[in-house]
């Protein structure tokens, strides 16, 4: 299939919804796969999720 230009041409790139979205900076993208930082995030996110399961057990 040839990519239909109709879709692409309906809106110029700068007017597509995606052009209004926030985009991550290079530094943010770097942090997302920077292993030492991600180890820290792994621990923090796990703690937050465990806190959530604790809350589910005790909030009723």
Partner 1 sequence: MANVVVLGAGVAGHTAAAFLRKWLGREHQVTVVSPKPDYNWLPSNIWVGLGLRTPQSVLVPLKPVYDRVGIVFKQARAVTLFPEGDAAMPSPHVEIEYTAGDKNQQRELVPYDFLINATGPKLKFDATEGLGPEHFTNSVCTADHAFHAAQAFLRDVEAMKHGEQRRFVVGSGHGTCTCQGASLEYVVNLEAELRRHGVRDKAQVIYLSNEYELGDFGMGGAHIRKGGYITPTSIFTASLFAERGIEWILQAHVEKIEKTQISYITLEGEHRTLDYDFAMLLPPFSGVGLKAINASGEDISAALFAPNGFMRVDADYAAKPYEQWQAADWPKTYQSPAYANIFAAGIAFAPPHAISQPHFTKDGLPIFATAPRTGMPSATIGKIIAESIRDQIAANGHALRTASMAKMGAACVASTGTGLTMGSAAAMTVCPIVPDYQTYPEYGRDLRYTMGEIGLAGHWIKVMLHYLFLYKARLLPGWTLIPE
Positions in the binding site for partner 1 (CB under 8 A): 1-4, 7-8, 16-24, 31-33, 35, 38-39, 41-42, 45-46, 48-53, 55-56, 59-60
Asked if 19 contacts 13 with a C-beta cutoff of 8 angstroms, the reply is yes
Q: How far apart are CA 37 and CA 40, in angstroms?
A: 5
Smallest gap, in angstroms, from Cβ of residue 12 to partner 1? 13
Q: Considering the complex, what minimum distance in angstroms separates the CB of residue 45 from partner 1? A: 5
State in angstroms the smallest separation of the CB of 50 from partner 1: 7
Q: Which two tokens stand for residue 51?
A: 């806190």
Cα gap 55→60, rounded to integer Å = 9
């Amino acid at each position: 299939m040839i990519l239909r230009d109709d879709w692409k041409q309906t809106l110029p790139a700068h007017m597509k919804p995606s052009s209004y979205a926030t985009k991550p900076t290079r530094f943010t993208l770097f942090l997302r796969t920077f292993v030492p930082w991600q180890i820290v995030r792994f621990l923090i996110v796990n703690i937050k999720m465990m806190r959530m399961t604790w809350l589910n057990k005790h909030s009723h």
